[in-house]
Amino acid sequence: MDAVTDSPSLDVSGLAFAYPDGHQALFGVDFTVARGERVALLGPNGAGKTTLVLHLNGILTGGAGTVTVAGLPVGKRHMAEIRRRVGIVFQDPDDQLFMPTVREDVAFGPAAAGMKGAELEQRVRTALELVGMADFADRPPHHLSFGQRRRVAVATVLAMEPEILVLDEPSSNLDPASRRELADILRSLDVTVLMVTHDLPYALELCPRSLILSEGVIAADGATGELLSDDVLMRAHRLELPFGFDPRSVTMGA
């Protein structure tokens, strides 16, 4: 088990993929994410971000190259374990919440994996506590605010004790308070985070490192503040900061 523990959370090497209609989305993607890192995946629409994310837990396969999660190659042999280790939180929480209560939604994954009784109850309680939603366990998800539903969606993934948490546009449609609450939660988690986002200030706030995916390749990989401060790089890859936002003036938190 030590060999797996010492492996990076994510290692992508030479990943290339074309859809059946011939559209090539990825042209040879290479990057590594170490255990416990928080990394933002940035890029314009059509850059291949979604295609890349769907390779991380084997939803898409059959291209060239390799994806390895905690030392395990993504493929048929390890698929159940890979899907446990790679938790994807989709942009719309309603894609992940479908049970009558919050508790049942969070219990769904571990229960499907065979967990039951007191162990299952504890797993659900822990996941809800991590996102500050323990008091809402018996509520129907559709009675919650959008921000609360997104936190429950994160809890459904955390209940599987993943190696890496992949978040698709986590700040979208959140009011400023919900946005800050989610940022505090994500900073507190002991898990590797890969965050796909167009929200560049949020990337700067949460992720010390960023990757820019552009036209199916990694065009840049470095400290988030440095990438966002490089005007030529940003323009070249159709990335725009909000009006008046200067990444050089932001003091990074932990």
State the CB neighbour count (10 A cutoff) for residue 165.
22
CATH number at residue 73: 3.40.50.300
Q: Is 96 within 8 Å of 90 (Cβ atoms)?
A: yes
Q: What is the pLDDT of residue 151?
A: 94
Q: Is residue 210, in this structure, part of any structural domain at all? A: yes
Q: Is residue 82, in this structure, part of any structural domain at all? A: yes
Q: Is residue 153, in this structure, part of any structural domain at all? A: no
For 240, the domain range is 2-94+163-249
Q: Is residue 234, in this structure, part of any structural domain at all? A: yes
- The side-by-side arrangement of strands in the sheet containing 217-223 is 86-89, 164-168, 192-196, 38-42, 209-214, 217-223
Q: How many domains does the chain have?
A: 1
Q: What is the pLDDT of residue 150?
A: 94
Per-residue pLDDT of the chain (254 residues; tens, 9 = 90+): 344 457 898 999 999 998 888 888 899 999 999 999 999 999 888 778 888 988 888 888 778 898 989 888 888 888 888 888 999 998 899 888 999 999 999 999 999 989 899 999 999 999 999 999 999 999 999 999 999 999 999 999 999 999 999 999 999 899 999 999 999 999 999 999 999 999 999 999 999 999 999 888 899 999 999 999 999 999 898 888 877 777 777 665 44
Q: What is the pLDDT of residue 122?
A: 95
CA distance 154 to 10: 19
Q: What is the pLDDT of residue 58?
A: 84
Q: What is the pLDDT of residue 1?
A: 36
Token digits of residue 205: 């706030």
Q: Is residue 158, in this structure, part of any structural domain at all? A: no
Q: Is residue 30, in this structure, part of any structural domain at all? A: yes
Q: Is residue 157, in this structure, part of any structural domain at all? A: no
Q: Is residue 114, in this structure, part of any structural domain at all? A: no
